[in-house]
Amino acid sequence: MHDVLVLGSGVAGLTTALDAARLDLSVLVVTKGELAQTATRYAQGGVAAALRAPDSPDLHLADTLIAGAGLCDPDAVNVLVSDGPERVRELARIGARFDADGIEAEHDDDAAWALAREGGHSLARVVHAGGDATGAEIERALVEAVRASSAIDVLESTFVLELLVEDARCAGAMVLSAGGTTENIRARHTVLATGGAGQCFAVTTNPLLSTGDGMAVALRAGVACADLEFVQFHPTALHVDVMPRPLLSEALRGDGAILRDDRGRAFMRGVHPLADLAPRDIVSRTIAQVLRTRSLDHVWLDATMIDRFEQRFPTIWSACSRNDLDPRRDWLPVAPAAHYMSGGVVTDPAGATTLAHLWACGETACSGVHGANRLASNSLLDGLVFGARVVQAISGGKTEPAQSGAMRGVPQFQRVPVRAEQAADLASANRGPVDPHALLAAVQRVMSSECGVVRDAASLQLAAETLDDLTVPARALPARRTDTYEARNVLDVARVIVTTARAREESRGAHTRRDFPDQSAAQLGRYVVAGESTTFVPLAALEGHLASGGRRSGSDR
């Protein structure tokens, strides 16, 4: 039995594993692909952290709260922005190399790192690696460190099927090996770090592996999840016939790139004081409106003013070149694409969930730091900070959540699995005529058409009815195949996204309703799903916390 079972090998999972190993805890990392095959490696954007003046954690906190549209938990955000700088420096110490002005910085020489500005940030605070290959560099450094650790075991090509629950605590997980055999892996603590669920949508920037596996197993085990209606759509995915869609980093707009419609009009001017650098929800929503009113399927990003494009953004340059586009002279076709889950498995600021001995961090988790809309480049920082926080809590003897962070006000649900027979069903030899890829495509089509950037009661009802109908063929999928379980997981997560989107009768952050275009004070709270129940948890306590200045000080604002 291992001390810590980590499910997932992105920035959150590998940070957890390394920190646990440093404390002499035995660690097993389970990942469904290769160790380095994660969504982290696709991240072009950098890591946001208040590394030096004139920036400060207070300014970073303020920008994060504004982007989160009232649903961020200030305590959780304080953890993020306060711990963030040292976590980035620690990442550099293990070998990640961040860009500097004209030269490559030494490992921990943060004074030399170049800082970029991205959407929603009041000043430049984002560090990059390889121009637009930050995720790949971070993943490389973490994987090398994990491979070098004798305290960390790794199981690749191994898929998590269900959580093992014994005596009201998580005792590990049931997994499926590449050879098709199932195994129960027991551990004293289990950490969900399996990433997001972008594959719920037909148009996404997420890799094929982002199928919501951690959220799905938590939902089936009756573990509380929240804020799943807040699916962030990245406003500038390259509109080409490739999936996942190539991402055009927000750093382009930070360097002066401008969004234009078919008439060449810079349509973000006048919409928001930050214009093209407005928070992502505002930019995506505005693009969707332009597409609808102008009968377009994409708008354009004019980046022709950026010097040395191929050196500064080599990943984007390559994607454009493969599609016969030259950013130095061509406006680039872009449209929103599903990008990031701001919600997930509810945790307190230490990463504890409503099931004892089960933890979650990174995109799988709802820690309260992102609220209704994640601030650009806070995602990699989230994994770094809260992966470390999980280990600190485990080493301190913690096993259950505190009523703080996103867990504040969340009732202590009685854990009722969605389907008690699920584990047995997953291991059965039942075979049917349904193709997992066809089922997955059906889910993706209805989610993109009816639960996309803009939604309403009619579209969400159609989505709910369609997804309910798909539960029948889902039971006839061939057994002991990873693509079967991925399709089921996508369906399970998609149904909850629609359920919470129907319940939230307002527009807030990344959730926009045509029929409820304004924010509602009555909807300031979280929709929490556990088992078969959905509960609204009002954040009256959060309102008071914000009003009283839920931050350390405002002296250097």
> 429-485: per-residue pLDDT in tens?
444 568 999 999 999 999 999 999 999 999 999 999 999 999 999 988 888 899 999
The residue-averaged pLDDT of 167-171 equals 95
Q: Is the dihedral of CA 196, 239, 69, 63 positive or negative?
A: positive
Domain residue extents for the chain: 2-86+118-230+340-407, 237-336, 422-525
CATH 3.90.1300.10 fits 422-525, yes or no: no
338 alpha carbon, distance to own chain's centre: 10
- Residue 545 above 80 pLDDT? no
State both tokens at 236: 């500038």
Q: Is the dihedral of CA 170, 206, 285, 126 positive or negative?
A: positive
- Residue 215 above 90 pLDDT? yes
Q: What does R_g of the chain's alpha carbons equal in angstroms?
A: 22
Diameter over CA atoms, the chain: 65
| In the block, residue with structure tokens 């994990």 | 146
Side by side, the strands of the sheet bearing 344-346 are: 365-366, 344-346, 225-226, 525-530, 533-538
Tell me the fold of 237-336.
Answer: Flavocytochrome C3; Chain A, domain 1 (3.90.700)
Which pLDDT does position 479 carry in this prediction?
Answer: 84
Cβ(136)–Cβ(41) below 8 Å: yes
The residue-averaged pLDDT of 519-528 equals 95
Percent helix / strand / coil, the chain, rounded to 5: 35, 20, 45
Least confident span in 83-97, 99-113, 284-298: 99-113
| In the block, residue with structure tokens 């406003």 | 235
CA distance linking residue 132 with residue 483, whole number of Å? 31
Which pLDDT does position 552 carry in this prediction?
Answer: 39
CA distance linking residue 33 with residue 209, whole number of Å? 8
Phi, psi for 68 (deg, rounded to 5): -75, 0
Q: Closest Cα to residue 226, out of 406, 405, 46, 18?
A: 406
CATH 3.40.50.10490 fits 2-86+118-230+340-407, yes or no: no
Q: Is 280 noted as a catalytic residue in this protein? A: yes
Which pLDDT does position 412 carry in this prediction?
Answer: 67
Fold match, 237-336 / 422-525? no
The pLDDT tens digits of the residues spanning 99-142 come to: 987 555 454 578 889 999 988 999 999 999 988 889 999 999 99
- Residue 425 above 90 pLDDT? no
What are the C-alpha distances in Å from 167 to residues 164, 170, 515? 10, 8, 45
CA distance linking residue 210 with residue 433, whole number of Å? 25
Question: For residue 557, what pLDDT band results from cuts at 50, 70 and 90?
Answer: very low
The pLDDT tens digits of the residues spanning 357-396 come to: 999 999 999 999 999 999 989 999 999 999 999 999 999 9
CA distance linking residue 238 with residue 132, whole number of Å? 15
Cβ(351)–Cβ(360) below 8 Å: yes
Which pLDDT does position 133 carry in this prediction?
Answer: 87
Question: For residue 551, what pLDDT band results from cuts at 50, 70 and 90?
Answer: very low
State both tokens at 458: 């009619």
CA distance linking residue 96 with residue 83, whole number of Å? 18
CA distance linking residue 42 with residue 268, whole number of Å? 27
Q: Of 117, 220, 280, 488, which residue is the catalytic one?
A: 280
Alpha-helical segments (H) within 71-212: 74-93, 134-147
Cβ(364)–Cβ(214) below 8 Å: yes
